[in-house]
A and B are shown apart, each in its own frame.
Chain A
């Protein structure tokens, strides 16, 4: 994940490198990438939405959806960073 994967092994009292929050954040970031690279899943003209073929409105719809996923990853990692700080006893 984006924070210190090559940090030295955590001493006792600290959180492990892999936490549920980090895993969830990783999944949140991976979902839009996989969905958009899987072109055959949306290479279709129908159903149309307001006259716009599926191919176009589906990809445009993914823009706000991907922002939600990235936003979730941001919040999850913030939460994770705060917990790490607390686990260090707020020494910094």
Chain B
């Protein structure tokens, strides 16, 4: 797939890359509020981000390079079923509007840095907190690895590093350099680096998408023609399965799957450690609530981006190529139809789109390890300075791990694990979100529910084969008792809730100790300026 290097595009790409690298290092001086050795400073940007910074940060965080590659790739490959990403991001915001402000408030009052911190404080249970933390780390790791897959798709299309004939060192050197730089400025600047770079990333992405959905259809003969070409491709019969390769609308049999996948993914979205990190870094409760109303602007971008999968079909990208990798569809669409310099801009948007979330994810995983494993189990006497030091080191380790993973192992494994990660992270929902509203659930019941959800979800997903992989080939299976095909994660979640409710009743009847709750009802609605916050720990310097 190496047709030589596209020099103009490469120069533009490298220019933007250097720009954000400089910004990344300078970010450590941006909005510095004082005690830089405290984990709030490095790991949450001093909890100082206002509405717009939070908007850019969360947008840069939620809509990753892998999203740009994978969502249109799914549409390219199967049509309507890949469009579930749109209802997913629409319903996510009204749902999380209900609980994220409460999480922000209680975390601000008690100085919680991670969701597992909150679970620890609410239920007084180290085991439950550990379960939440480990699930978060496990779900985040493959997600970071997939950001590399996004950069790789772009580098391959640019003609650098790609090509099956190149030796492994030359092939992976650009990727290696990109990640080394990312690791260095994340280490030195913490969450401020991705927050600042997110401005560049999001602006580039908006420009590219708007140009793409206006300019490309003009080149391709209009949307009517594009959808006709797509419909033609979707109706062709796959010689192996004797089924059409895709469909243009969700048929009656696919609708449960479409809806449950959207709902389950929406519930899981703000359980991911990196999204929680973005939310807790906000300056005030109002900042969080405002963002739930303005973040859909990114969903609009995602909806338009998804359509690019159809544009790629109409443009004949990958037509007739045996075993074509649909993840190259969008990069090749851009490279084929945009002028070279604008291809460079578009690829910079995707490349930087990988750096921002990868930085935030590694910070979030590092925060979890430091607060809920290192300080909780290994070194309870650790000072805030030591915490920050450990977190910085772990953020490096996490990224090296992801790099080794992608370079050394099958990329398919990372994709499988990310899919599994979505099922897993949803199982922490009951402990975290129910805990924000009520202390009715028993900590051990929640732990048992989590375990049942994890085991069921993993077992079900293991049994699904696809042409690309023997296990974990998909995320939908028959829902027991309903008989329709639905998202495994959501079925596991329902089981999780059932087990938690039943066992809570049992534990309450047997008067099993419930653990100490260190939070008070008023903590959950505390806003800047309320008395609950006057005694709050860190960040002192922000005032």
Contact = CB atoms under 8 A, between A and B. Distances in A.
A50 interface: yes
Interface in B213-268: 222-227, 248-252, 255, 258-259, 262-263
A33 interface: yes
Contact of A4 (B89, B262, B439, B525): B525
Interface of B: 80, 83, 86-87, 89-91, 93-95, 97-99, 101-102, 222-227, 248-252, 255, 258-259, 262-263, 289-290, 292-294, 296-297, 299-300, 303-304, 307, 437-439, 521-522, 524-525, 529-531
B394 to A, nearest CB: 33
6 contacts: A39-B258, A51-B223, A52-B307, A55-B80, A66-B90, A67-B296
A59 B91 contact: no
Contacts of B224: 48, 50-51
Interface in A65-85: 66-67, 69-71, 73-74, 77
A48 B222 CA distance: 13
- Lowest 3 CB-CB distances: which A-B pairs, in order? A51-B224, A51-B223, A36-B87
A74 B289 contact: yes
Interface string A1-30: 111111110000000000000000000111
Contacts of B299: 63
A37 B490 CA distance: 14
Contact of B94 (A33, A52, A53, A60): A33
Contacts of A55: 80, 83, 248-250
A70 B292 contact: yes
B531 A92 contact: yes
A60 B310 CA distance: 15
B300 to A, nearest CB: 5
Contacts, number: 133
Contacts of A73: 94, 97, 293
B227 A52 contact: yes
A28 B97 CA distance: 11
A36 B263 CA distance: 9
B91 A37 contact: yes
Nearest to B301: A63
A46 B294 CA distance: 30
Interface in A29-61: 29-30, 32-33, 36-40, 43-45, 48, 50-53, 55-56, 59-60
B487 to A, nearest CB: 12
Interface residues of A, number: 42
B232 to A, nearest CB: 13
B296 A6 contact: no
Nearest to A49: B223
A62 B92 CA distance: 13
Nearest to B260: A37
A38 B262 CA distance: 11
B248 A53 contact: yes
Interface majority SS on A: helix, strand, loop or mixed? helix
Contacts of A89: none
B138 to A, nearest CB: 28
A64 interface: yes
B98 A60 contact: no
A64 to B, nearest CB: 7
A28 B255 CA distance: 24
A63 B300 contact: yes
Contacts of B293: 67, 70-71, 73-74
Contacts of B522: 4, 7
A29 B266 CA distance: 14
A63 B250 contact: no
A92 B90 contact: no
B531 A60 contact: no
Contacts of B225: 51
A30 to B, nearest CB: 7
Nearest to B75: A56
A52 B293 CA distance: 27
B227 A39 contact: no
A63 to B, nearest CB: 5
A39 B94 contact: no
Contacts of B529: 92
Contact of B86 (A3, A5, A50, A60): A60
Contact of A53 (B87, B227, B251, B258): B227
A45 B248 contact: yes
A44 B249 contact: yes
Given A70-B296, A92-B530, 20 more contacts: A3-B101, A6-B439, A7-B522, A8-B521, A29-B98, A33-B91, A33-B94, A37-B259, A39-B258, A40-B252, A45-B248, A48-B224, A51-B222, A55-B80, A56-B307, A59-B303, A63-B299, A70-B97, A73-B293, A74-B292
Given A36-B262, A66-B94, A2 B101 contact: yes
Nearest to B523: A4
A64 B227 contact: no
Nearest to B87: A36
Contacts of B303: 59-60, 63
Given A51-B224, A66-B94, A43 B296 contact: no
Contacts of A56: 83, 307
